[in-house]
A and B are shown apart, each in its own frame.
Chain A
Amino acid sequence: MDISIQFKKGALELCVLVLIREQDRYGYELAQSVSKHIEVAEGALYPLLRRLVAEGFCTTYLQESTGGPPRKYYKITATGEAHTKKLVVEWRQFVHNVSTLIEKGSTI
């Protein structure tokens, strides 16, 4: 259980970047989209998003919404785009390596 939380935390940045790259999204929307796929403490998104902005991987803009507070949209930057691509490649490599290792282990 605890370990799986650590996995998810590690993958969260990648998931968020991919989602933002797809289209501009606001915090709550991101939370919904992420938790559709993986079960994670949604609150962890906001510190992560702050960090992504601070590192220059995405920018924010506000947009009025009907009957609610303005939505803070996150938009990916060029560096963010490059970073995402790099992360995805690394992720695939990593997952591939780990599954090969596990398969090898299970046959013994």
Chain B
Amino acid sequence: MNRSEFLALLRVHLSPLPPEEQQELLEDYQNHFAFGLQSGRSEEEIVAELGDPAELAKEALGNRYVPDEPIYWYGGPNQTSEQQASSATGMSNRPIPIARRNPFTQALVYIGLFFLNIVGLPFLLTLWCLVVSLGLATLSFILSPLLVGLEYAVHDNFHWGKLFASVTMVGLGILISLPARMLLKTMLALSVSYFKWNKRLVKGDAGHEQQ
């Protein structure tokens, strides 16, 4: 890493600071480079001595260091992040303001969700049908020897070929059952998070904080 790379990285990591503070710090580092080069060191040496820009920036931000926050689509806790940046003291007892939507916005949210769900719900349903049918197929594969036995008991006819075929089916069923189970779990998680997300959008960010 050379001088300009170091400074560029540092600038990125210092971006949460007010511009004049950023500028001052960057000047400090620029001057450090200037003095270092004057005393006959290479840029790489100086960078190595200075240390990791991200770490240095974290140091400079101190308790103003804001970890990456999720991005909210609507208003939400982002409105408080400025307060949080300026007074990083009361993180825990920071009041959570509940954004009051005006009726128009709320109506728009409902309309938006309506159209989204016109597409989203059938899509989800289709996926569920696929997963359920896969599960049923797996079940019938695994249970196929029972069917062979049933045929023997009721119709009194028996073919060795059928028995071997059913054994093969059991094997296949067991193999398929593994991915099928995973798919089922994924589907469950997907549906739950989809509905939760819907609920959250309707309720606004208050619903989000309560989770």
Contacts and interface: CB of A to CB of B under 8 A. Distances in A.
Do these two chains interact? yes
Given A46-B28, A72-B31, A51 B50 contact: no
Interface stretch (A16-24, A35-43, A95-103): A35-43
Q: How large is the interface on B (under 10, 10 to 19, 20 to 34, 35 or more residues)?
A: 20 to 34
Contacts of B36: 28
B62 A47 contact: yes
B19 to A, nearest CB: 15
Contact of B51 (A42, A68, A72): A42
Given A27-B28, A51-B62, A43 B35 contact: no
A68 B35 contact: yes
A47 B62 CA distance: 9
* Residue with the highest number of chain B CB atoms closer than 10 Å, among A35, A41, A43, A69: A43
A67 interface: yes
Interface SS of A by simple majority: helix
Contacts of A51: 62
A56 B59 CA distance: 19
Given A44-B59, A47-B25, A28 B52 contact: no
A52 interface: no
B55 A41 contact: yes
A72 B29 CA distance: 12
A43 B50 contact: yes
A42 B52 CA distance: 10
A82 interface: no
B38 interface: yes
B129 to A, nearest CB: 53
Contacts of B172: none
A43 B56 contact: yes
Nearest to A28: B35
A47 B56 CA distance: 8
Given A47-B56, A47-B60, A50-B25, A31 B32 contact: yes
B156 interface: no
Contacts of A46: 25, 28-29, 32, 56, 60
A31 B50 CA distance: 9
A67 B37 CA distance: 11
A27 B52 contact: no
Contacts of B34: 68-69
Contacts of B69: none
Given A46-B25, A47-B62, A72-B28, A41 B35 contact: no
Contacts of A68: 34-35, 38
A48 interface: yes
Contact of B56 (A26, A31, A44, A69): A44
Interface of B: 21, 24-25, 28-32, 34-36, 38, 49-53, 55-56, 59-60, 62
Given A31-B49, A43-B53, A50-B25, 11 more contacts: A28-B35, A41-B49, A41-B55, A42-B49, A43-B29, A43-B56, A44-B51, A46-B25, A47-B56, A47-B59, A51-B62
Interface of A: 26-28, 31, 35, 41-44, 46-51, 67-69, 71-72
